[in-house]
Structure 1
């Protein structure tokens, strides 16, 4: 596990965009697998692989690059991690109306901790780890039969 963590750290240092895209894709795929196996209880034979691949592709191609870039922009616009700076970043980060309404009790506390304690290169991974439950919910909601 320690070797895996060091390898991820090296990849983040050398190719942060690629590492963030891989992390987001893998975690979104994991959210879909959890939705299919634990929430929907499809079983291995009923697992819909194209659906999991679609969720992973969204993570690889959209969430990782876009959200990772957004965090870099926030850090550039508002450098630092004092309490005032963190509040400013959280307010700017909550500029998506549906996310604000739907996730208001989850994301501000997560982002306060994320912007205050977590180094820039690890922020996307933290959000994606928390979002694994959200991704599971989204996958289930979008694919209800």
Structure 2
């Protein structure tokens, strides 16, 4: 009974921003750590700084996601439940580049890169990120908006984000993605 009340209070309007931010930080941390474990070779050292930077991005992405869903839920989407879900999916797919650019450029800035280099990295990896977003988010968001109440939307997305963050971390830290044009200019 006490645990149920505690969980209920975490998802109340009063603490939802904090809950969503902490969940975002946790899922970004876990996603990067999992990606490092999956892709590491023997002898490769775990990069705690990298995971720390990914976790820190949750302090930006958590409130962004919270505000985005609050905005979507605040607009009066009219029509059948299916039509409402489809409209919200279209909105989310449209905003996906903003979230992925924030992640990639934010991580690059935390690594000490210049704004120009951070934006260049995002441009190089844009298509990989966009294809990932298009293949994952429409079905995920359909389930999210069709079946879940608003207070559980960000938490649900953050659970899916664990797998997404593994892919995102791979794209971010794979230096061969999008480098075909830059290797031509070096040669």
Report the CA distance between 1:3 and its aligned residue: 6.7
Partner of 2:160: 130
Moved more, 96-105 or 50-59: 96-105
For residues 33 and 52 of structure 1, what CA distance do their matches in structure 2 show? 6
**Contact 1:27–1:132 at 8 Å: present in 2 too?**
yes
**Contact 1:29–1:52 at 8 Å: present in 2 too?**
yes
Q: Which has the higher contact order (CA 8 A, sep 6+)?
A: 1
TM-score normalised according to structure 1 size: 0.84
SS in 2 for 1:78: coil
Partner of 2:87: 88
Cα distance 1:79–1:97, how it changes in 2: closer, same or farther (>3 A)? Answer: closer
Can you give the 5+ residue segments of structure 1 that lack an aligned partner in the other structure?
none
For residues 129 and 12 of structure 1, what CA distance do their matches in structure 2 show? 15
TM-score normalised according to structure 2 size: 0.67
Can you give the 5+ residue segments of structure 2 that lack an aligned partner in the other structure?
98-128, 176-187
Cα distance 1:97–1:119, how it changes in 2: closer, same or farther (>3 A)? Answer: closer
Please give the residue correspondences for 1:6-17 in structure 2 after superposition, counting only pairs within 5 Å. 7-13=6-12, 14-17=14-17
Displaced runs of 4+ in structure 1, greater than 2 A? 2-9, 39-43, 78-81, 96-103
Partner of 2:72: 74
Root mean square deviation of aligned Cα: 2.5
**Contact 1:23–1:125 at 8 Å: present in 2 too?**
yes
Please give the residue correspondences for 1:1-145 in structure 2 after superposition, counting only pairs within 5 Å. 7-13=6-12, 14-41=14-41, 46-59=45-58, 61-79=59-77, 82-96=81-95, 98=97, 100-144=130-174
**Contact 1:29–1:53 at 8 Å: present in 2 too?**
yes
